Amino acid sequence: MTTVREGFLLIESQAAAVPGGVGFPRDAVTQARLGHPVVLFLIQDAVALAVPGRSPELEAFIGAGGRVWVDDFSLAQRGLANAGLLPAAHRTDMGAVAEAVLNPAVKVVWH
């Protein structure tokens, strides 16, 4: 996994808890299709979206060139530490996120 040097860091915490859960991931797909570098960081309830078959929008995001980070701690809290994730989903911790948040070239949006 590489760091975020520019573009967008979209932090999703709620998608799995919202019926359909498509709004924010759909926005991520749009940004990636426009050619913007985008990392979607899944935390809290949203980590469930990284399980294969759970989110067509997340798979479309990956297909559009977006990168997906998944919070290790949130996976463990939800009993998903050993779950198989989408191959393009990278487990990470808050250190990588903090580095991106502090980078002035990265636009951060938290949902």
pLDDT at residue 16 greater than cutoff 70: no
Collapsing DSSP to helix, strand or coil, 94 comes out as helix
Tokens of 71: 């919070």
DSSP string, 14-79: SGGGSTT--HHHHHHHHHHHTT--EEEEE-GGGGGGGSTTS-HHHHHHHHTT-EEEEEHHHHHHTT
User: For 6, which DSSP code?
Assistant: S
77 and 49 in contact (C-beta within 8 Å)?
no
Between the alpha carbon of residue 4 and those of residues 16, 17, 82, the distances in Å are 24, 27, 26
What is d(CA 111, CA 23) in angstroms, rounded to the nearest whole number? 10
* Per-residue pLDDT tens over the stretch 64-110: 999 999 999 999 999 998 889 999 999 998 888 999 899 999 999 88
pLDDT at residue 15 greater than cutoff 70: no
Collapsing DSSP to helix, strand or coil, 85 comes out as coil
